[in-house]
Amino acid sequence: RWMHLAEPWRAAAREAIAGRAAAAYDPVALWAPVMKEGATYQFDDSGGEPGASDVTVVTATVIKVTRDEAGTTAELTWADGGGNDVTGSLPRHVRVHGGNVWFSDDALFDADDTVAFPPPGPETQAGLYTHASAEGVCYGTGPGPDADDCPDVCFAELCVAPGRGLVGGAGTWWPG
């Protein structure tokens, strides 16, 4: 029962760590492991349960990296366990430059589907968010402040950890 009493302290500690993580936010360094051709990341939704049934596996592979005055851009492919393309809503291109991060389906980043994420903190752009914690940073989208009630899953996010690259995600961008 004493652990319940410690919870407010833990919440305060998590907030302090997240605050330091947000203050030290450096997207170029954070995304550096992803900005390497051939980098591969595999995800599954087993929840760490050995032998779990009906597990969806997704593999992200960086197939091309370009560097220019607009920033560094990684082009990714996303495939399921059978090798089928499941890019769907997952970002095909990620660009970083200075303190900015963009996701887009379009390599030119000028299409309507380009998303520019705010720095870590509270939502600042119609449902877009960037949450920093001690473990890493998650970029996502959810209902904006004036949105109607959501009947199902109403968010999507992709998470990156310092020195590790892509580490997970959840929501409507993901198959399964």
| Per-residue pLDDT reduced to its tens digit, 41-93 | 998 876 666 666 666 888 999 999 999 998 999 999 999 888 889 887 789 99
Place of tokens 């963009």: 102
pLDDT at 126: 67
pLDDT tens-digit series, residues 151-171: 666 788 899 999 999 998 888
Structure tokens at 9: 């302290």
Of 78 and 120, the structure prediction assigns the larger pLDDT to 78
Global confidence as pTM: 0.78
In whole angstroms, what is the distance from residue 106 CA to residue 175 CA? 20
With residue 2 as reference, give the H or E element that holds it: helix 2-23
